[in-house]
Chain A
């Protein structure tokens, strides 16, 4: 069953803690993206990667880090430097250039 999978679905973070959100795809897509969605708002781009071992900052990269060691995987780490991390995080992948983006089911992160 091909697709893009995010885990976990729900994640709770303590103050000052780093957490990592997983994103895996078996669609053979080159490009992968991380977006943040706050209640009633749009999707804001955190980081994106067009190819293995390469990634670029989006509009709100501060407090986040990523890696792209494998084509299938694009994990996002929410560091303690991110002061307001509570949000819904969506990962997406694209086969090539300007084509349909496929989204994972999202991870809801809450600071406790």
Chain B
């Protein structure tokens, strides 16, 4: 299946600093790259996604960048706050060109801790 690698596995930052999480993928047919946030004991929820026709997308303090040539994409969180503390997962679709046969494959997750 699709190989999605995510780094770092843990990240600790001071409140107000920026946090960056990076992912690489192997399937060149992938064209959709979402990021999910999972708080302790809760379900993952989508926070931002990007498609291959753009290189960057922003939503307030969150941004995602994509480099299709290098097959990597990154999540950027600026002005971090304690409520940003959670596990973040990147994902990419696996299964070839047919979107009707694809499924999301997730990275191993990054535990972000924002210290007050």
Q: Residues of A with Cβ closer than 8 Å to B?
A: 31, 33, 35, 40-45, 48, 50-51, 56, 58-59, 90, 92, 94, 96-101, 103-106
Contact = CB atoms under 8 A, between A and B. Distances in A.
A98 B89 contact: no
Interface in B47-100: 49, 51, 89, 93-95, 99-100
Given A98-B51, A100-B49, A105-B43, A42 B99 contact: no
Most B Cβ at <10 Å: residue of A59, A90, A92, A98? A98
A57 B109 CA distance: 22
B68 to A, nearest CB: 14
Contacts of B36: 101
Given A41-B108, A41-B109, A42-B108, A97 B1 contact: no
B105 to A, nearest CB: 6
B43 A45 contact: no
Given A97-B102, A101-B46, A106-B43, A42 B109 contact: yes
A42 B82 CA distance: 22
Interface of B: 1, 6, 31-32, 34, 36, 42-46, 49, 51, 89, 93-95, 99-109, 111
A98 B93 contact: yes
B4 to A, nearest CB: 8
Nearest to B43: A103
Contact of B106 (A31, A35, A105): A35
A45 B31 contact: no
B64 to A, nearest CB: 14
26 contacts: A31-B103, A40-B111, A42-B106, A43-B89, A44-B106, A45-B103, A45-B104, A45-B105, A45-B106, A48-B103, A50-B101, A56-B101, A56-B103, A59-B105, A90-B44, A94-B104, A97-B32, A97-B100, A97-B102, A98-B31, A98-B32, A98-B99, A100-B49, A103-B44, A105-B42, A106-B43
